[in-house]
Copies of this chain bind each other. A is one copy, B any other.
Amino acid sequence: MISVTIYNEFCHEKFDENVRKLYPDGIHNAIAKFLGENDDITVRTVTLDDEECGLTDDVINSTDVLIWWGHLRHGDVPDSVAERVKNAVLKGMGFIALHSAHHSKPFRLLMGTTCNLSWREDGDLERVWVTAPSHPIAQGIDTYFEIEEEETYSEPFAIPQPDELVFVGWYEGGEVFRSGCCYVRENGRVFYFQPGHETCPTFHNKSVQRVITNAVRWAAPVNRVSQLICPNVKKITTGIPGSHRR
């Protein structure tokens, strides 16, 4: 059973009628709904206004994969929470950054770069192409899938070169974007996925749901490391019984 926690800053949905129509219970609950239909996944949600963003030590320690959506209020996430998330990833927790979470504090800490890009809100069709057909995150997707309307994100995207590039997005207006990027950071797996603008029905798109579900299974830790250490060690003596070696 994979324990997923979904963080949403839950802000636009409260003041913008257009967003509320699409996601009446918030983006977090829209994601929770389709993930919760899988027998191997349990879901919790937390939001910015919860104490410590809902991401206390207890919650983090019992989370296998953390999904992050935020946009307007990245700066209101306390640095201590961002560091806690980063450290949990380094110990093995999976992390999935959706759309505007490219600028979230934990993602930037993990990447080490600005994660800048260019953007445009014209409701372009996005066609998301698979560049790694055998990758677990691309399973169930044919050579591409379409999103009727998305915010356009454009290269150059200021990230470290992905360990694996799974998707590249094409936008009607003329841009491309590395839309699905995998990283290993110490013991944890990180996936960035471009789709998910708040004024678009992206999280109701079946292919988007499939990709996020696949990504949860991919990012779930094989094991969790309990501490991060930098030990002073003794010279090794061979552990081979009866060996004539040192």
Chain B residue nearest to A163 in the complex (CB): B161
A164 proximal to B (CB < 8 A)? yes
A136 proximal to B (CB < 8 A)? yes
Which of A6-14, A21-29, A183-191 interfaces with chain B?
A183-191
Expressed in whole angstroms, the minimum distance between the Cβ of A52 and any Cβ of chain B is 22
Pair A236/B131 contact, Cβ less than 8 Å:
no
| Contacts A112-B86, A146-B240, A170-B174; A187 near B118 (Cβ below 8 A) | no
Expressed in whole angstroms, the minimum distance between the Cβ of A209 and any Cβ of chain B is 16
A133 proximal to B (CB < 8 A)? yes
Say which residue of B154, B178, B221 sits within 8 Å of A134 (CB atoms). Answer: B221
Pair A223/B134 contact, Cβ less than 8 Å:
yes
Pair B176/A168 contact, Cβ less than 8 Å:
yes
Provide 14 A-B residue pairs closer than 8 Å at the C-beta atoms, listed in order of the A residue: A90-B158, A109-B112, A114-B230, A118-B143, A118-B232, A130-B155, A134-B187, A136-B222, A146-B238, A160-B183, A160-B184, A168-B168, A168-B176, A170-B175
